[in-house]
Amino acid sequence: MTLYFLKRLIGIVLILFVMSLLVFGITQIMPGNVATILAGQFADASTVAAIEQRLGLNDPAYLQYWRWFSGVVVGDFGQSLVMERPVLPLILEAFASSAILAGLAFVLVTVFGITLGVVAAVRENRFSDHAVSVFSYIGISVPEFFWGIVAILVFARYLGWLPSGGAGNLNDGVLAWVSHLVLPVITLTFTLIAHVSRLTRSSMIDTLRSQYVRNARAKGLPEGHVIRRHALRNALLPTITVLAIDVGWLMGNIVVVEAVFSYPGIGRLLLFAIERHDLPLIQAGILLIAAVYCFANLIADILYGYFNPKIRYGHAAS
Amino acid sequence: MKKTLYGALGALATAMVALTQPALADGTLRLAIPSNINTFDVAKTKLGEEYILNFLMFSGLTEVDGKGGVKPDLAESWTASDDQKVWTFKLRPGVKFHNGRELEAEDVKATILRVMDKATGSTARVNFDVVDTIEILDKTQIRFTLKIPYAGFAEILGDRQVRILPRDKMDTVATEPVGTGPFMFKAFRPGDRIELVKNPDYFIKGEPKLDAITIRIMPESAAQVSALSTGELDLVWSLPLESLEQFKGSGDVVIDSVPTSTWDGLIMNSAVPPFDDARVRKAVALSIDKAAMVDFALYGEGTPTHTMIPPSHPYYNSELPLRQQDLAQAKALLAEAGHADGLKVTLYLPNGRPTRERMGVAAREFLKEVGIDAELQRVPWDKFVKEIEGKAGFYADGFYSRPTTDTSVYPFYHSTGSWNTQLWNYKNAEVDKVLDAARASASSDERAALYKKFQALVEADPAGAIPYVQNHVNAYRKNVKGFHSSPMMWMDLRQTTVN
């Protein structure tokens, strides 16, 4: 198990390294560079050249990459070229805000997705099954920016129950802080719940039809016990995989949701950085998101082993 | 049972509203801007959002009023030599930076030199190309000697990027701004908000009237509109024109619209056929209905004009009739230029600039009438700056208000202008002569006559089609008093109160 874990960790480090090369390569190909952005629309060529000189953008690409890389190895992610402040605190603060948003949405997607999936499976082809289907399909078929704006109009503008956007400050009280999270979290959850609920439903239906569930029922075990103890544990395996993949989706959706709700998170910071070709900021943001995704998959694999001892890794299974 | 549940939910919601609106100190103005700011370093600012802060936290030597006049700010008075080449400014005595240090002439010199340094990359640098030497006379007096006679020099010192900085804090101003302005920096949470507090030592007694300002960064206009309607915000800066409709007839919200010299134009590049032919340029200009363009592209929030000099400006040539759509003459000119069978062109539009995109769509319809088939192509902004501006033949572009007539016109229309070669490569010897004379003239009447002549000249030989200048629209709640939208899109909140 330890060996497996170590191997995976090394894999993740390699993936991140390749990612950083890719991101660097892409920013080199993109038209324009940070100097043209800093100099602005009215700049003449000599001003752009002077800024390029100041930022070392004329050095060969490998040298520029090395400068960045040698800093990161010792934990120095450099300065944002546009904002002229250190990258790390900027990224970490934005990431913390996003993590709260994404974390809450993820918990809700997991809990409600699985619950709805199980309900739909148990009540296959009855009214509640169809209701769950319709609800989750509506969520996934319409993009999050639409639901976000609908939520603002209904709950902020007309009902006046919740703020229209922004992030709360804990100094203003817990409730004020939570109230800023409600609409973005609901929007994120609603647009993601279909993946989990649909998959849980179909895998649960398969499991409920299997031999061993019939045996359990034949033994006279109560239905609730059969569903929770026997069927669900097995039915959850594909759901775990899809939850790990959903972490990636969540990161994508959060960019849009943060913009709609004026929420200061990593998605908007990254968009800001990309628009301005601010390489140190782009690199740090992308690497952080990639790392989260890699670790989500690692955790999924470990959970897989927990739920299904047949596929435990390394020597633990023997 | 159900009723009690709904009742409980309702009560909870009401309680939440009460608790979620944090109690604010009296006199805190909450305003929204759409986009995050890059930097507090005034010399490097380029966005309207950043300019707001340049005026709230910093002061300039002079202040332009946006109507062609200039007033004292940090400089209490100034004199120019008769040839308009030697300018001497006297600073207000006893002005203090936010960190308590007194302002000195050395700070002014360091600020201007830094803007003039190419490595700083300030967009205002080109305006100061005219400066030859800067001399400190004493602690409060500074003298600029110019290379050429330049009558608008006091005005360009009121510009956005030349706000005066303390010379010992230049390296940290991007993150820890220190100025002499009416408000002081308190906190910045990128992507979320900027907080300012009143400067108790501001050099004008009794100002500012507000205690604090919270500037929220809200990219989504639906969220801005909602927050303003519910009172979460007091003021929205530069409301998107498409959301104006929602406030028409609202009792709580005031719409304050002001004409500016921010313009959009259909740019025709004289270096690229078929636009190297003045007849083709004129034909395109003649096929545009300017008033219809204002309705379509700006929802009516703008004014048809000859050039970027707006009809609200004293230098606007009101005797010159506004060019009317004339399809017959346009067709005749095209035939004369050898395009009787029609013409196929590509019109490039910058992505994410809604007024210019709408202008392009309307232009395509107008051009169809005279036999020009314009294919619209939307281009991402980066690519637009790099590959379209100054290079393509036909595209939609636009520029924000600039503080003086010279800086609004000269860079675009003079054949050596800094922006001309990156725009339309326009060359007209007569225009060059008029613009050179205007920048050297000390008399306002003479300048007015010259700029009026300039408008007539480019009307006869158009570089592109400038259909309108835009309005700048702010929306605020009734409880905000003493606020006026600025024709420069800047923000002066010294007299503003909120209750």
pLDDT digits (tens, 9 = 90+) for A105-133: 999 999 999 999 888 888 888 888 898 88
Contact residues, chain B, for A157 at CB < 8 Å: 225-226, 229-230
With a pLDDT cut of 70, the percent of chain A lying above it is: 95
Average pLDDT along chain B: 89
Asked if A170 is an interface residue toward chain B (Cβ–Cβ < 8 A), one would say no
- Residue B18 pLDDT > 50: no
Instruction: Find, in chain A, the residue whose alpha carbon is nearest to that of B118.
Output: A47
- Percent of chain A whose pLDDT exceeds 90: 15
Mutate to test the interface with A, among B12, B21, B28, B220 (most CBs of A within 10 A): B220
B16 has pLDDT over 70: no
E strand or H helix that includes residue A202: helix A174-208
Radius of gyration over alpha carbons of chain B, in Å? 25
Degrees (nearest 5) of the Cα angle B100, B106, B108?
A: 85
What's the pLDDT tens digit per position in A49-67?
888 888 878 888 888 888 8
Cis peptide before B310 (omega within 30 of 0): no
Percent of chain B with pLDDT strictly greater than 90:
60
Mean pLDDT across A68-79: 84
Pairwise CB contact (< 8 Å): A152 & B17: no
Pairwise CB contact (< 8 Å): A85 & B232: no
B428 with B250: CB under 8 angstroms?
no
Report the residue from B20, B119, B126 with minimal CB separation from A179: B20
Q: Which of B38, B41, B223 comes nearest A165 by C-beta?
A: B223
Predicted local confidence at residue B482, as pLDDT: 92
Highest mean pLDDT out of A47-56, B226-235, B417-426: B226-235
Q: Which chain B residues touch A146 with a CB distance below 8 Å? A: none
Is residue A202 scored above 90 in pLDDT?
no
pLDDT tens for B269-302 read 998 888 999 899 999 999 999 999 999 999 999 9
Q: For A258-272, B395-409, B428-442, which range has the lowest pLDDT when averaged over its residues? A: B395-409
**Residue A278, φ and ψ in degrees, nearest 5:** -85, 85
Helix axes A174-208, A87-122, angle to 10 degrees: 40
Q: What pLDDT was estimated at residue B19?
A: 46
Instruction: Identify from B40, B118, B171 which residue to disrupt to test chain A contact, counting A C-beta atoms within 10 A and taking the largest count.
Output: B118
Q: What DSSP character marks residue B150?
A: -
Which among A30, A179, A263 is the nearest to B382, CB-wise? A30
Contact B222 A47 (CB under 8 A): no
Chain B positions in Cβ-Cβ contact with residue A165 (cut-off 8 Å): 218, 220, 223, 227
Q: Tell me which residues of chain A, numbers 121 to 160, contact chain B at a CB-CB cutoff of 8 Å.
A: 148-149, 152-153, 156-157, 159-160
> Which residues, in sequence order, are CB contacts of B242 under 8 Å at separation 6+?
B221, B299, B354
- The nearest CA of chain A is from the CA of B225 a distance in Å of 8
CA distance B23 to chain A (A): 8
Which SS3 state, helix, strand or coil, does residue B94 take?
coil
- Please indicate whether, in this complex, the C-beta atoms of A40 and B121 are within 8 angstroms of each other: yes
Inter-chain touch B36–A268, beta carbons under 8 Å: yes
Span B305-343, pLDDT tens digits = 999 999 988 899 999 998 888 999 999 999 998 888 888
Split at pLDDT 50, 70, 90, the class of B138 is very high
In the sheet that B75-80 helps form, which strands lie side by side, from edge to edge? B75-80, B86-91, B141-146, B131-138
- Report pLDDT for B157: 94
Higher-confidence residue of A107 and A302: namely A107
User: What pLDDT score does B441 carry?
Assistant: 84
Count CB neighbours of B306 within 10 A: 23
Torsion angle in degrees (nearest 10) through CA of B222, B224, B225, B231: 140
What b/e string do you get for A147-174 counting C-beta neighbours within 10 Å, with b at 16 or more?
bbbebbbebbbeebbbbbbbbbeeebee
CB pairs A-B closer than 8 Å: 160
Fold of domain A89-307: MetI-like fold (1.10.3720)
Q: Which of B126, B223, B387 sits opposite A152 (nearest CB)?
A: B223
Phi (first) and psi of residue B327, to 5 degrees? -65, -35
B281: which 2 tokens? Answer: 């340029």
Residue B353 Cα, gap to closest chain A Cα (Å):
14
- Residue in the structure block whose two tokens are 């006279």: A220
**Quick check: helix, strand or coil at residue B492?**
coil
Q: Is A287 on the interface with B (CB under 8 A)?
A: no
The CATH 1.10.3720.10 domain(s) of chain A lie at: 89-307
pLDDT of B7 higher than 70: no
Residue whose structure tokens are 């690409």: A61
Is the four-CA dihedral B206, B207, B209, B213 of positive or negative sign? negative
- Chain B's closest residue to A44, CA to CA, is B418
Residue of A nearest to B226 (CA): A157
Residues B429 and B458: their CA atoms lie apart, in Å, by 11
Q: pLDDT-based confidence at B23, cuts 50/70/90?
A: very low
The answer to whether A38 and A82 are in contact (CB under 8 A) is yes
The neighbouring-strand residues paired with B346 are: B375
- Please give the pLDDT value at position B1: 44
What pLDDT is attached to residue A80?
87
- In whole angstroms, give the CA distance from residue B49 to residue B371: 42
List the single residue in B22, B118, B220 with the smallest CB-CB distance to A46.
B118
Which letter, b or e, does each residue of B91-128 get, where b requires 16 or more Cβ atoms within 10 Å of its Cβ? bbeebebbeeeebbbebbbbbbebbbebebbbbbbbbb
> In 3-state terms, what secondary structure has residue B1?
coil
Average pLDDT over residues A198-220: 85
Residue B112 pLDDT grade (very low, low, confident, very high; cuts 50, 70, 90): very high
List alpha helices for chain A, DSSP H: 2-29, 34-39, 45-55, 61-73, 87-122, 127-141, 144-151, 174-208, 211-218, 223-225, 233-260, 266-275, 279-307
* Distance in angstroms between the alpha carbons of the first and the last residue of chain B: 43
**pLDDT above 50: residue A316:** no
Q: What is the ipTM of this complex?
A: 0.80
Nearest chain A Cα distance for residue B82, angstroms:
32
Compute CA A105 distance to the chain's CA centroid, rounded to the nearest angstrom: 10
Residue-level pLDDT at B106: 95
Question: What pLDDT, on a 0 to 100 scale, did the predictor assign at position B65?
Answer: 79
Closest chain A C-alpha to B331 CA, distance in angstroms: 35
Choice between B123 and A257, residue whose per-residue pLDDT is larger: A257
pLDDT at A317: 41
Nearest to B76 by CA among B89, B88, B67: B89
pLDDT of B169 above 90: yes
Chain B touched by A55 (CB under 8 Å): no
Nearest 5°: the CA angle B338, B343, B348 is 135
Confidence of residue B440 (pLDDT cuts 50, 70, 90): confident
Band of residue B458 on the pLDDT scale cut at 50, 70, 90: very high
Angle at B181 between CA B176 and CA B187, to 5 degrees: 35
Nearest to A50 among B118, B175, B227 (CB): B118
Separation between Cα atoms, residue B494 and residue B147, nearest integer Å? 36
Give the nearest chain A residue to B175 (CA atoms): A85
How far apart CA B201 and CA B94 sit, in angstroms, is 10
List chain B residues with CB under 8 Å of A168.
20
Q: Flag whether pLDDT at B9 surpasses 70.
A: no
The helix/strand/coil state of B198 is: strand
Residues of chain B in contact with residue A258, where contact means CB-CB under 8 angstroms, are 191
pLDDT in tens, B246-263: 887 778 899 999 988 899
pLDDT of B376:
93
Q: B20 to chain A: nearest residue by CA?
A: A176
pLDDT value at residue A242? 85
Q: Which residue of B has its CA nearest to A48?
A: B121
* pLDDT over threshold 80, residue B219: yes
Question: Mapping DSSP to helix (H, G, I), strand (E, B) and coil, where does residue B462 land?
Answer: coil
Alpha helix (H) ranges present in B307-465? 327-336, 354-369, 381-383, 405-413, 429-440, 444-460
Per-residue confidence (pLDDT) for residue B20, from 0 to 100: 47
Task: Tell me the one-letter amino acid at B274.
Answer: P
Q: Write down the residue that tokens 């096929």 correspond to.
A: B287
d(CA B359, CA B186): 41
On the question of pLDDT at A34 being above 80, the answer is: no
Tokens 């546009």 belong to which residue? A82
Residue of chain A nearest B38, judged by CA positions: A83
- Look at residue B288 in the predicted model and tell me its pLDDT: 93
* Cβ within 8 Å, pair B386-A36: yes
